[in-house]
Amino acid sequence: MDNGYRSNRSSALLGARIAITGGTSGLGLALVRKCMARGAAVAFIARTRERVERVAEDLRPAANVHGIVGDIARKDDIHPVALQILGALGGVDVLVNNASSLGPTPLALLSDTECEDFDAALATNVLGPFRLTKALLGALAKSARERRGAVVLNVSSDAAINPYAGWGAYGASKAALNQMSRIWNEELVDEGIRFLSVDPGDMDTPLHAAAVPDADRTALKRPETAARELADRIAMALTDLAASRASDQREPASLA
């Protein structure tokens, strides 16, 4: 079998090249740690240089982690980020669009939401993931062709489905992200790229604290738990892709 073949879920992330946006706090940071622990090479992207450097320092001496400074919401940052991801990892097999914006904080009724706050939510939650994914599609398709597997995981929310009052900018933008994931998954199935949209649940993270400052934190899911679930979903997708390649290979018309 090819060296990229991953036979089961526990080892599926071993050697995978994973880029995670919003990787210096909350779910993103927990996912960086989880993927590293499972043997992946990880590049994480966040806005502030100081935070990126501090987190990278914390995660050392591990050699399989790379901090990259960039704001996914800014068009001009996308290609410099993509260049550094591919430079650091030598390619990318998994992209996790995790960085999210609530829109207005404190949360506001949609009717009271400033257009600029809605813009900001769309830039981070929809346009940013669109642009970064598009910039990395060539690399993802290459990973698929070279039998490493290719997965894009977009972090979603139940606010994308349920009309919670006060979550208008966030919910509407996450709904758009959901649909974008589904359409891309349809369009790129023959390229071998799988798109996932996952709701990690209500977690004890800085984003949740900003949205619901008086929440009972003990009732919230720990980000480490959600990170394990996301890592499992990625692993499952990589395993499925490897299995479908293996069945393709058994067909008589395929490569000898």
Partner 1 sequence: MIAANAPVQRRSDAKLLVIDANGRITDAPRSALPTLLRRFDLLVANDAMTLPGSLAGVHVPTGRAIEVRLAGCRSLVDAIGRFTGVVFGAGDFRTRTEDRPLPPTLAGGDRLALGPLRATIERTLDHPRLVALRFEGTPASIWDGIAHHGCPIQYAHMPTRLAMWDVWTPIAGAALAFESPSAGFVLDWKTLAAIRARGAQFVTVTHAAGLSSTGDADLDRRLPLDEPYRIPGTAARAIAEAKRRGGRVIAVGTTVVRALEHAASRDGIVPAGNAVATQRIGAETAVHVVDAIVSGTHEPGTSHFELLRAFADDLTLRRAATELEARGYRTHEFGDSVFIERRVRCPACASGHEPRLAA
**Which residues are designated catalytic?**
170
What are the backbone dihedrals phi and psi of residue 214, each rounded to the nearest 5 degrees, phi first? -100, 20
Q: Give yes or no for residue 48 binding partner 1 (CB under 8 A).
A: no
Q: How far is the CB of 24 from partner 1 (least distance, A)?
A: 16
Give dist(CA 221, CA 223) in Å, integer.
6
- Scanning 117-125, 132-140, 167-175, 232-240 for contacts with partner 1 by CB under 8 A, the matching segment is 132-140
Beta strands 150-155; 193-198: pairing state: parallel
Radius of gyration of the chain (CA): 18
Place of tokens 């900001």: 120
CB 23 within 8 A of CB 50: no
Q: Is 2 in the site for partner 1 (CB under 8 A)?
A: yes
Please provide residue 226's backbone torsions phi and psi, each rounded to the nearest 5 degrees.
Answer: -65, -40
Contact with partner 1 (CB under 8 A) among 30, 68, 102, 207? 68
Q: Which of 44, 13, 4, 5 is nearest to 236 (CA)?
A: 13
Q: Which residue among 72, 96, 122, 139 contacts partner 1 (CB under 8 A)? A: 139
Q: How far is CA 80 from CA 45, 124, 186, in A?
A: 11, 17, 28
Smallest gap from Cβ 146 to partner 1, in A, equals: 5
Tell me which stretch binds partner 1 (CB under 8 A): 10-18, 32-40, 143-151, 228-236: 143-151
Tell me the closest approach of the beta carbon of residue 159 to partner 1, in angstroms: 31
Residues 167-196 within binding reach of partner 1 (CB under 8 A): 187-188, 190-191
Secondary structure element (H or E) that encloses residue 133, with its range: helix 128-145
Closest contact distance (angstroms) between CB of 241 and partner 1 is: 15
Q: Is 24 in the site for partner 1 (CB under 8 A)?
A: no
Where do the DSSP E strands lie in the chain?
Answer: 17-21, 41-46, 65-69, 94-97, 150-155, 193-198
| Residue in 31, 146, 52, 36 with CA at minimum distance from that of residue 90 | 146
Among 135, 151, 177, 231, binds partner 1 (CB under 8 A): 135
Does position 90 bind partner 1 by CB under 8 A? yes
Q: Which of 1, 37, 83, 161 binds partner 1 (CB under 8 A)?
A: 83
**Which residues of the shown chain bind partner 1 in the complex (CB under 8 A)?**
2, 66-69, 76, 78-84, 86-88, 90-92, 135-143, 145-147, 187-188, 190-191, 255-256
